[in-house]
Structures are given as C-alpha cells and as structure tokens.
C-alpha cells in the first residue's frame, strides 16, 4: 500500500521515501543530475564529474547509444563488474537481463534516448544454486553529447543481497518513466555496422578494426642478363 503525507500542497510518497533509504546511491545520482541541468532540459555529458558522485561511483555508469534500443557501457563502477563477474565496459546493458526481460529493456532504452525520459526500474535477480535472491534498482538519466544529440546517459545500478555466483541476470518487476519537456531530440548518427554487430554479440570494448588486405609486395628486382666474359689468358 502506498501512503502519502500532504503538507503545504506538497505530496510526499512514503513508499518512495522508504525506497530512497534502501538505495541512497540512486537518490544521490539523481540529485547530482538535477543539479547539473540547473533548470535546463538536459545536462551535457562533458559536465559530468566523478567527484560529484564520489559515494556512488561503484554503482554509477555512463551509457552510449549505438543503435535504436541499444546502448553499451562507456564507463562502469566496480559493483557492475562484480555482478557480471568480469569487466563490463563495452558490453551492452541488456547483458544484465534475462532473455525474457531484454525485449522490455530495449523499449526502455529507446524511451530514454528518443523521449527523452528518465527511467527507474525495480529488478529482481534469478535465483538458483549459489545465486541468492537480490533486489535491485536501476536509474537511467539522459545526457546530451558534445554534438547536442541525446546519445549518452548517466546511470546508477544498486542492489541489496549477496552477489553469489556470477554472472547475475535480472528480471524487471516495475518501470517508472518521466518525460522530459522542452527537448527536441536530434536523430543519432548511425553506428558502423561492425560496432552494432559486436554489441549484439556481447563483445567487449570497441569493435575490431575492419580487415584490410596487406599491400602487394613489390616485384623482385630484375636480375641483370648474362653477359659473355672473354678471357685472353
């Protein structure tokens, strides 16, 4: 049951307040983003300073949109690496979700960048041998790139419960979206096909350089023709 307390025309959700106390790093990152934009629709990616969210760095991340409904980690805190059991930088965000939840996550990411929208998800991890129950909260906040398009996002991924055996995959139990007014989204530049294919395959870091044939070897130097050497001895 969701209770509210009303005072001087402000409505405070007690359910939200309890959630904030359980996931304080989520609240910290959201407050930092709000301070950055300072009345503007969106802040710039270049304005994000890790010192501003020092207590949340282990849970924070920066996403880059690489295709409609797809985004990969540009930066990620250690807690995300612990959940996956490996370095997640360069991986798609959907790697953290079960196959069933990935379709919903694709829609969520498209809302973040195309809306743009603030998205807050409540998550629960798959449970099994060596994988205890985990509750999670995921916050994604859109950013403008240096080119002015909405292709970056600041986020925070917080969990309650032992990580256990990694990797951990999550189901989505609820989604809350908040539309950001005053933004005319610019179409994002299409990512190279090699980069998109790498992200779909769950590859790490940047896509490998395209194959190029080695230049042809120069022809061997022409050997001088035989000549007759006459000896008078």
pLDDT values of the chain reduced to their tens digit, one per residue, 233 residues: 333 333 333 444 444 445 567 899 999 999 999 999 999 999 999 999 999 999 999 999 999 999 999 999 999 999 999 999 999 999 999 999 999 999 999 999 999 999 999 999 999 999 999 999 999 999 999 999 988 999 999 999 999 999 999 999 999 999 999 999 877 655 544 444 433 343 334 333 334 444 445 555 556 555 554 455 555 54
24-196 carries CATH number 3.30.450.20? yes
pTM of the complete model beyond 0.85: no
- Three-class SS state of 55: helix
Give the pLDDT confidence score for residue 103 in this predicted structure: 95
Of 121, 218, 225, which Cα lies nearest the Cα of 178?
121
Give the pLDDT confidence score for residue 208 in this predicted structure: 42
Give the pLDDT confidence score for residue 221 in this predicted structure: 58
| Rounded Cα–Cα distance for residues 219 and 201 (Å) | 42
Give the pLDDT confidence score for residue 114 in this predicted structure: 95
- 112 neighbors 183 (Cβ within 8 angstroms): no
- 163 neighbors 127 (Cβ within 8 angstroms): no
Domain residue spans of the chain: 24-196
């Amino acid at each position: 049951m969701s209770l509210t307390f009303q005072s001087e025309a402000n409505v405070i959700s007690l359910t939200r307040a309890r959630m904030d106390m359980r996931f304080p790093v989520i609240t910290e990152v959201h407050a930092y983003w709000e301070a950055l934009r300072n009345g503007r629709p969106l802040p710039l990616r270049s304005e994000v300073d890790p010192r501003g969210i020092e207590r949340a760095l282990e849970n924070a991340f920066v996403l880059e949109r690489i295709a409609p409904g797809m985004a990969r980690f540009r930066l990620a805190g250690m807690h995300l690496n612990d959940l996956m059991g490996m370095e997640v930088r360069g991986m798609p965000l959907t790697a953290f979700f079960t196959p069933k939840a990935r379709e919903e996550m694709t829609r969520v990411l498209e809302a973040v960048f195309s809306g743009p929208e603030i998205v807050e998800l409540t998550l629960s991890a798959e449970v099994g041998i060596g994988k205890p129950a985990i509750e999670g909260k995921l916050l994604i906040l859109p950013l403008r790139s240096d080119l002015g398009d909405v292709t970056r996002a600041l986020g925070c991924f917080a969990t309650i419960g032992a990580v256990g055996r990694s990797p951990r995959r999550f189901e989505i139990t609820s989604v809350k979206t908040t539309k950001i007014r005053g933004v005319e989204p610019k179409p994002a530049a299409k990512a190279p096909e090699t980069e998109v294919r790498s992200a779909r395959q769950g590859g790490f870091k940047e896509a490998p350089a395209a194959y190029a044939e080695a230049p042809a070897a120069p022809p061997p130097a022409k050997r001088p023709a035989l000549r007759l050497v006459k000896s008078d001895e």
